[in-house]
Structure 1
Amino acid sequence: MRRACRRTVVTQARRGNDVQQAVEAAPQKVQEASRGPLGNLPLVAVTVAMVWGLLQTAGVWRSVTSKNKREEAVSGKARIIESITDSRIADTFKRVDVSGDGRVDLRELTEALYKLNPNAPLSAARDSALDIFLLFDKDRNDRTLNREEFGQFLETWCLQTGSKLDDIAGRIGEPRDIEAHENREDQRVEEEVTRAAEAPEDLSRVLERRKLETVFRLWADRRGDGNRVERKDLARSLSRLLDIVGGDGADRARGLITSPAGAAQHAGYNAHLDRTEFTDLVRRVSDVAGMKHAEVLDFLIMIPLYGEERKALPPGRTSEDHRASAINEMHEAKEQAQVYNRRKEAINILSEARKEAHEQIEARKKKEAAREREREDREAGRKGPGGPTSSGNGRSGGSSNFPGTTASEGGIQAAASDPSKGSSSARS
């Protein structure tokens, strides 16, 4: 500001004006100078335009960054899919199947999961193994995983953790035994796992205890809370189960889950259920309806996993027929299950990733083929019969203004630009 005033005063003085006139003219000149090259456009408008431009640039940058991240995610999934092959699954299965009987029991699976995360307590590996048995073991008689069920577990584990199957197989193959535990709690868990693996009836009891915990976590995660279950969602699914079962017991049990008008204001009614309330409600419905507790849990485990409800049976049958049909329906749904946490979504992810991976591979092959053709064209141009010729501007024929022009083409252009050279070459 001071420099602008000083320049204005000096200019006015040179034009013959006195100092007073120069000083009076200085603020007007400074104001005009502050407007810059945009003339009378207000400074606020200029600032807004600059900010808008910066925001547009930032938006483009975010869009490009988001696209790059999406492409990186797809490429990562494609690499994971490529790592899951039958031979690698078979090799990993052999490493986990320590006994070599062709099946993976609870102890072997717990040991493998502990090797994948040795910093966690052994109880975490045991709970994960129990969840895997509940979700992937379709044959509940032997309480083990065959090769097909184990492969489904590996596929799901790789997609959820973002790990390649080679990395998982390498960590499972490390020499680490769950017997080498000094922690007293881990020793207790180890003894429990060993007993359950050796006695199928003990494993059944452990799985039934774990099943309730698994069902609660699946239902609590549906709304993203993780600690509570919405009563109306649970009531809707239980009512559907009671419609299938039928009978007087089902009618009485329905009164436990349906609330009268205005029940939300009554004492003792909760719109959300914690772990204890969830367990109590499921047990009371099972007892009043005359169903086994495990059957109700088997039904409830389907809803958050597969996200679709089965059709109810037509009325007019006995309660035993309804109950048997409901049990068969549940077993059929479980036999169709392939992976944990919505198999359908996993299949869509797999197919989409495979498609984009193949597209990337094809695009890469086309680029490599184009580079190879371009390289061959350059080599052919260097080895042409005419060799490099000079153009009128002193450049060699191979360095034409047109990219990809060979040396022979450059010589033709040089001859065309100089008629004398063209005629001499024609005479020769």
Structure 2
Amino acid sequence: MTYQEAIDYLYAATPVFQQVGSTAYKPGLETTHTLDTHYGHPHRSYRTIHVGGTNGKGSTSHTIASVLQAAGYRVGLFTSPHLLDFRERIRVNGQMVSENFVCRFVEDAQPLIHEQSPSFFELTTLMAFEYFRQSQVDFAVIEVGLGGRLDCTNIISPILSVITSISKDHTQLLGDTLEAIAGEKAGIIKPSTPIIIGREECSEVREVFVKKAQEEQAPITFAEEAVHIQAQTPDFPGQHFTLDGGEAPYYFGLGGLVQRDNFRTIYAAIQELRHQGINISEEALRDGLRNVISRTGLRGRWEVLSQHPLIICDTAHNEDGIRYIVEQLLSLQRPLHIIFGMVNDKDIRGVLQRLPSNAHYYFTAASVPRALAPQDLQALAQDYELQGATYLNVHEALGAALKSANHATDVFFVGGSNFLISDLLATYSDTENIN
């Protein structure tokens, strides 16, 4: 079996959320426990850190992994979805899982797949756990796939749990109130295991977390209370954060405004790991923050693909995430060209109402079945006075924008969907292709 044959088999034999949406979601842990028993509970071979939340969990997971790597540890990282290559989901010290391992795992798992009918995410979770065991990692940072309580990553017994933020997303599966969503996310809080809460959002959400932590006798830390940021200063491509107390500013390699919340969460998490006796020097913390992109391969977070013209992309795809993006785009005080596409099971109106009406729009769609047709997106956008033409794909849309605008003054933003960014980066993975 070749690597491509293995990937094709995975997509054909197991339901894939990114392709078909909520019909691929399998709530409950029964199948995962069966798979875990079959493989001999690989996640018990190393210490784990569990990261959930609505927004920010990818940036947070990658950065915690980067800091641990800088401290000299061998670190596994499991995240989703991928942007360009399935192997991005499973990394050890920043290196993607080998094609050979994927082929061998899929070949060996075929009888199990036919017997248990796992989802794509259930199977790839066990693939990651087993790869980390064979790679003899010291730690594995495990990002929740969807929700928390019933997510298949929730079979682990971590040394630390992290919940980054709570906002409305996947409401058809997790609930349509912040309290309901928080209840699902709080499912990763484990007995006597420290929990870090990033942004609590409101008192009702806070109460959900406090109650669950008390039930589990889990020490709880709210990052907004524990980490006080005095100043946030842009410094391309990242930014500096100055904490109360007079320390030298920390340089964070991620540049989006939303990273303020993530920085607090990450800093609080590292402090807790230190409290547990894990050796993370100040130098390692600063190194890991600075070099998160090069160490872990993280992409699509306020990523500047080109300076001249200024082309930016971001994977933010819900109302809360877009709110930060719009604030940052408007702060540039330059003419805006927004290449935009969404999938059909998101709160599309909630996102559209956040977008600026004075921008030029280029409505398009990603190459996945869940993508909303550009014409449908255009029609909905008109209700919010967002005007623009439709294009078959992101490349046509960006090409049209570049032809119609002033490269010296205008800003080009691509966003609305992870999958739209995947399509973009598949062509523009080398920034030389843009200039």
TM-score (norm 1): 0.24
More strand by share: 2
More helix by share: 1
Higher RCO (C-alpha under 8 Å, 6+ residues apart):
2
Structure with higher Rg: it is 1
TM-score (norm 2): 0.24
